[in-house]
Amino acid sequence: MRVYLDHNATSPLRDEAKEALRIAVEASFGNPSSIHAEGRRARSALESAREQVAGLAGVPPREVVFTSGASEAIAAAFHGIVEKTPPSRRRIVVSAIEHSAVLAAARGFDLVEIACSKEGVVRADDVAAAIDGRVALVALQAANNETGVLQPVADVGEACARAGAQLLVDAVQAAGRIPIERDRWRASLLALSGHKLGGPAGTGALIVKDGVRLAPLIGGGAQERRRRGGTEAVAALAAFGAACAAAARELPAEGARIASLRDRFESGLAAAAPELTVHGGRAPRLPNTTLVSFPGVSGEALVIALDLAGIAASTGSACASGAVEPSHVLAAMGLSGASAQSAVRFSLGWSTTAADVDRALDAVPGILGRARMAAS
């Protein structure tokens, strides 16, 4: 039996999503743009999924634009907003700890990058100070994917509203783990991913608030109210919808359950290695994420040894070749090479049990001991 503690990378498919996928594959054949019965059936499955995603995000269904994932949603947000903005107002503001999909989409623009604190928090005042009449779009994540640290999206949203800039919130890691409060955040755009909350990879959504003008990134069709061309992946999106519905239903109780497992896990780690550092541990965090460094022990060695012991965790971000690259998030938090290279991320989720946490805690002391011996 494996212990899977890497939900921030991807979450196992929920049973509800599997069932929806099976039903859609068997019964919802058809192109949702067709006028015949088969098309209507597919359309119906697609619109049900849209309602379910909208339900989790707390928005009207018509604001949900389905995409192939969060990376596409983010690229579409940047492209769509900038295209509709006069050239005199195309400045972009992002935080230094955004996901690489955001940083890549922002490249090439007149860009302002906002630093974060040692605890991995972006200060709303710093963002607000960078927002003026030249700024088209501000991108801020609701929660960081590596540390789980929550960001002050509502305060930044207020500053954006004052200056007339659009706010894109990357809610990929937040969705299903904390409530999505689009209106309180005053976000014009939200990016969501299916596979981080128990839906299939290859699904995602860009939530576009009514009244926000967005040019399509992918043209060529009237799908998604002309905001995203291409025939919708009905079966996968049905599963995405089912996963969102399950996540929304379970969220209040599940948040508390995961938080208590995470706390138990962190105290267990601290008992085994009192010298450890939990990155962002003093900031408000998602209930499921622990990014931890054991001084003098390479994160890469720990993750490999954990994997060989049947436990899936992760370190840094993986590059094209699969090797571990230094994390830009930890660098932005002021961590040096050695300290950053010792970081290991454990992320819990819907499938995590108390037995999983205990098995991981049982394995850690031996693995740490061996890694320390080899390093000395």
Binding site for other proteins (CB under 8 A): 298, 300-301, 304-305, 307-309, 319-325, 370-371, 373-375
Contacts of 198 (CB under 8 A, 6+ apart): 11, 12, 13, 14, 16, 17, 176, 243, 246, 247, 349, 350
Least Å distance, CB 341 to other proteins, is: 9
Nearer to other proteins, 252 or 369 (CB): 369
Please indicate whether residue 319 is annotated as part of the active site: yes
Contacts of 309 (CB under 8 A, 6+ apart): 363, 367
Nearer to other proteins, 136 or 335 (CB): 335
Least Å distance, CB 321 to other proteins, is: 4
Active-site entry in 116, 160, 244, 319: 319
What is the enclosing helix (H) or strand (E) of 73? Answer: helix 70-83
The CA distances from residue 95 to 144, 200, 228, 250, 278, in Å, are 11, 28, 27, 31, 21
Q: Answer for the pair 75, 107: CB distance below 8 angstroms, yes or no.
A: no
Cα 142–Cα 146–Cα 147 angle in degrees, nearest 5: 75
Least Å distance, CB 3 to other proteins, is: 14
Tokens found for residue 261: 């497992």
Residue 236 per-residue DSSP state: H
Q: Give the amino acid at 295.
A: P
Q: Answer for the pair 57, 190: CB distance below 8 angstroms, yes or no.
A: yes
Q: Answer for the pair 24, 203: CB distance below 8 angstroms, yes or no.
A: no
Nearer to other proteins, 308 or 355 (CB): 308
Nearer to other proteins, 28 or 342 (CB): 342
Nearer to other proteins, 88 or 376 (CB): 376
Tokens found for residue 325: 């690259």
Least Å distance, CB 211 to other proteins, is: 41
Least Å distance, CB 148 to other proteins, is: 24
Residues carrying an active site annotation: 319
